[in-house]
Amino acid sequence: MAGMNRRQWLAGVAAAGVVAAGAGCEGTKQEVAVKRPKNENFYKADGSFDVEAAKQAYFDLMKAYHYPISDGLLKGWWVVDFTLGRFADVGMAGIFWLNEKEFDYFGHDIFLLPGQMIPEHAHAKIEGVRAKMEGWHCRRGSAYLFGEGEASAEAKQIVPATEWEFTTVHHVTPIGVGETGKLNLAEAKHFMVAGNEGAIVTEYASYHDNDALRFTDPDCEL
């Protein structure tokens, strides 16, 4: 939260009584009490995105999964609803731990609430930057990776109904704790949807440039 240091945040979530069971070492079964939020919880009376409410929801997710809350995280992380006003369905939190253009590498942690989706997009090749290639490593919870390939029968049941018209790739690769997936082709469209218990995912990739992002939904912005 704004103006809150790590010690104050930890005290606050302890007082809130967030409960987690079996959310220990990577590779073990997880049964975590993380509920899908209501969209109205994240917008103020004037319709503007309530960043602090969104951050608190992710803090609760991190606490449930025993994710380390460092000073570096609190200083560098961000939340976004992609200007769509549908945060419960489409949004994310993230932190870029590393992003080096000279040596072409990138490290990113992604946080998704239950059922939440990162909107469909591609990474174009632009001047001075090759098309970004990515791989994803599920740390906590579960996620569905969508990309090019034969459409999966379950795709429409996974994508939030509000977002289906803005998706064009429907090949699904589910990943659970300790499992990985990767982008199969440079400049391919792709997206991710969290499972019912939310997801914390580490991304390994080449250099990221926001100017190279191409969203399918024309109203989508960072």
Residue 178 backbone dihedrals phi, psi, to 5 degrees:
85, 0
Percentage of the chain beyond pLDDT 90 is: 83
Neighbours of 96 (CB within 10 A): 14
Residue 170 domain-assigned (yes or no): yes
Residues β-bridged to residue 143: 175, 194
Whether the pLDDT of residue 179 is over 90: the answer is: yes
Residue 164: predicted pLDDT:
98
Short-list 207, 212, 188, CA closest to 107: 207
Residue 52: predicted pLDDT:
97
Residue 1 domain-assigned (yes or no): no
Domain tally, the chain: 1
How far, CA to CA in Å, does 178 sit from each of 12, 105, 111?
30, 21, 16
How far, CA to CA in Å, does 61 sit from each of 19, 56, 78, 111?
10, 9, 15, 8
Q: Are 116 and 89 in contact (CB under 8 A)?
A: yes
Grade residue 57 by pLDDT with cuts at 50, 70 and 90.
very high
Three-class SS of residue 58? helix
Residue 222 domain-assigned (yes or no): no
Q: Using CA atoms, how far apart are residues 196 and 85, in angstroms rounded to an integer?
A: 21
Percentage of the chain beyond pLDDT 70 is: 85
pLDDT 10s digits, 43-56: 999 999 999 999 99
Q: Are 101 and 129 in contact (CB under 8 A)?
A: yes
Q: What's the average model confidence in pLDDT over 9-14? A: 42
Grade residue 27 by pLDDT with cuts at 50, 70 and 90.
very low
Instruction: Name 221's Cβ contacts closer than 8 Å, sequence gap at least 6.
Output: 82, 83, 215
Whether the pLDDT of residue 2 is over 80: the answer is: no
Residue numbers of the domain that contains 176: 6-215
- CATH number of the domain to which 64 belongs: 2.60.120.10
Residue 90 domain-assigned (yes or no): yes
Residue 30: predicted pLDDT:
53
Q: What is the dihedral of CA 156, 158, 159, 164, to 10 degrees?
A: 10
Q: Using CA atoms, how far apart are residues 158 and 33, in angstroms rounded to an integer?
A: 20
Residue 214 backbone dihedrals phi, psi, to 5 degrees:
-130, 105
Whether the pLDDT of residue 165 is over 80: the answer is: yes
How far, CA to CA in Å, does 96 sit from each of 70, 77, 156, 167, 205?
14, 7, 30, 26, 11
Residue 220 domain-assigned (yes or no): no
Residue type, 221: E
Residue 128 domain-assigned (yes or no): yes
Short-list 84, 69, 63, CA closest to 221: 84
State the pairing for strand pair 171-175/190-205: unpaired
